Amino acid sequence: MSFINYASREINCKIVYYGPGLCGKTTNLQYVYQKTAADAKGKMISLATETERTLFFDFLPLALGEIRGFKTRFHLYTVPGQVFYDASRKLILKGVDGVVFVADSQEERYDANIESLDNLRFNLAEQGYDLDKIPYIVQYNKRDLPNAMSVEEMRVDLNPTGVPEFEACAATGEGVFETLKAVAKLILIDLKRG
Amino acid sequence: MASPQMVMYDEEFRQINIVIEKLLREANAKVIFLVDKNGQLISGVGEVERFDTTSLASLTAGNIAATGGLAKLIGEKEFSILFHEGEKDNLHISIVGGRVILVVLFDNRSSLGLVRLRVKKASDELTIIFDGLMQKAEEKEKSGTTDFPFAEITDDDIDNLFS
């Protein structure tokens, strides 16, 4: 749920990166943080364990620029991917405007992807959202790994509805901004519809 | 959508700032923030430039969401007040009108008792303003007289953001 502030002429939107543990959600945000100009980003916050696993969320505020005199801000969040942090994942989905599902392309993580996607759909429904009706993007991450499945194979279960999808390697940054731009664009188009 | 669009207009923004500026003085606080439950900063008064307000807003909302989850687990609706005590500075966090979060940062020039007392009074005033704001937004939506600037944006406008 975006927040439109006529007083300060700002519009704030929330994007959530979802996906199984170690799929690269935090890495996506870290890359965006590294490559964004200092005046367009805020501080990146990571609530993580000592072993750098996301415990609650990562948060990165971005200011994209102005549309019709309104400053456009996007707040990027990741969820903790590990299965047992489900209660935290639900909280982070509150008020979401757009979702990026980061899939791990490695063959041995395929079941984890499917489980996470089911979990996303279920948790969104609990908050009153329908995954098929909100701005939503699929990212196939870790394309550089030798054990990566083909996108054609992954698409069958992970993108049956044919939403915009991107191949990525978040560690090197490939596909990261393409994914972010696509979801931001879908959110703005959604806002335009009202 | 799960909940209605959060909108803020000039008039209500001024009214809200009057209330929290008064609270800042009366509670002898350093900074006061109002944050949407989704983590978006609504307004802030006092020594705001000393703090990373965006991060504070996001973490406060996360904090409220986490304690709200705890409350539900033990059969409570929510914990409406949180208090964090530091060596020098303290945070008093409360939920206003079930919808927004009021954050008061204060040091030893004030006291928890004083802050609680003043927050209670200010909360009642803020609740009335936010109720009115919600009603106004709903009426505007129903009558179709929204002055929402995004209705007229073009694909080019959107593309330009990323150029």
Q: What local confidence, expressed as pLDDT, does residue B2 receive?
A: 45
Tell me which residue in B2, B69, B153 faces A68 most closely, judged by beta carbons.
B153
Task: Give mean pLDDT, residues A61-81.
Answer: 92
* Length of chain B as a residue count: 163
Angle between helices A151-158 and A110-126 (to 10 degrees): 30
Q: What local confidence, expressed as pLDDT, does residue B7 receive?
A: 87
In a domain, B31, yes or no: yes
Tell me which residue in B3, B5, B62 faces A4 most closely, judged by beta carbons.
B5
Task: Give mean pLDDT, residues A1-24.
Answer: 92
Domain count, chain B: 1
Chain B positions touching A185 (Cβ under 8 A) are: 158, 162
Tell me which residue in B38, B52, B62 faces A14 most closely, judged by beta carbons.
B38
Chain B positions touching A69 (Cβ under 8 A) are: 149
**Domain range enclosing B90:** 10-145
Contact predicate B6/A4, CB 8 Å: yes
Which range (A7-11, A32-36, A129-133, B13-17) has the least confidence? A7-11
Tens-digit pLDDT profile for chain B (163 aa)? 445 567 899 999 999 999 999 999 999 999 999 999 989 899 999 999 999 999 999 999 999 999 999 999 999 999 999 999 999 999 999 999 988 999 999 999 999 999 999 999 999 999 999 999 989 888 887 777 666 667 777 778 877 877 6
Chain B positions touching A129 (Cβ under 8 A) are: 1-2
- Enumerate helices (H) and strands (E) in chain B, giving the number of each: 4, 6
Q: Is the dihedral of CA B64, B58, B119, A9 positive or negative?
A: negative
In a domain, B154, yes or no: no
Tell me which residue in B55, B62, B149 faces A56 most closely, judged by beta carbons.
B62
φ/ψ region of A192 (left if φ > 0, alpha if ψ in -120 to 50, else beta) reads alpha
- Distance, in Å, from the CA atom of B80 to the CA atom of B72, rounded to the nearest integer, reads 12
> Per-residue confidence at A64, pLDDT binned at 50, 70, 90?
confident
In a domain, B62, yes or no: yes
Q: Is the dihedral of CA A124, A130, A136, A140 positive or negative?
A: positive
State pLDDT tens for residues A75-124: 999 999 999 899 999 999 999 999 999 999 999 999 999 999 999 999 99
- Distance, in Å, from the CA atom of B93 to the CA atom of B12, rounded to the nearest integer, reads 22
The chain B residue lying nearest A135, using CA atoms, is B1
Q: What is the CATH number of the domain that holds A51?
A: 3.40.50.300
**Domain range enclosing A181:** 3-193
Element (DSSP H or E) covering residue A56? strand A54-67
CB contact under 8 A, B10 and A7: yes
Chain B positions touching A95 (Cβ under 8 A) are: 2-3, 36-39
Q: What percent of chain A is predicted at pLDDT more than 70? A: 99
Task: Give mean pLDDT, residues A55-60.
Answer: 94
- pTM for this predicted structure: 0.91
Closest of A75, A93, A74, A95 to residue A85, by C-alpha? A93
Burial of residue B58 (CB within 10 Å: 0-12, 13-18, 19+) is buried
Which range (A11-25, A156-170, B89-103, B144-158) has the least confidence? B144-158
Name which of A44, A56, A59, A99 to mutate to probe chain B: the one with the most chain B Cβ atoms within 10 A of its Cβ: A59
Chain B positions touching A29 (Cβ under 8 A) are: none
- Distance, in Å, from the CA atom of B120 to the CA atom of A164, rounded to the nearest integer, reads 48
Residue indicated by tokens 């909280």: A91
In a domain, B49, yes or no: yes
Domain count, chain A: 1
Q: What local confidence, expressed as pLDDT, does residue B1 receive?
A: 40
Q: What is the CATH number of the domain that holds B131?
A: 3.30.450.30
CB contact under 8 A, A127 and B2: yes
∠ CA B154-A12-B59, nearest 5°, is 160
Q: What percent of chain A is predicted at pLDDT more than 90? A: 85
In a domain, B5, yes or no: no
Quick one: chain B helix, strand, coil %, rounded to 5? Answer: 50, 20, 30
* Chain A positions touching chain B (beta carbons under 8 Å): 1-8, 11-12, 14, 42-43, 45, 47, 56-57, 59, 61, 64-65, 67-70, 72, 75, 87-88, 90-92, 94-95, 127-129, 181, 184-185, 188-189, 191-192, 194
State pLDDT tens for residues A134-152: 999 999 999 999 999 999 9
In a domain, B4, yes or no: no
In a domain, B121, yes or no: yes
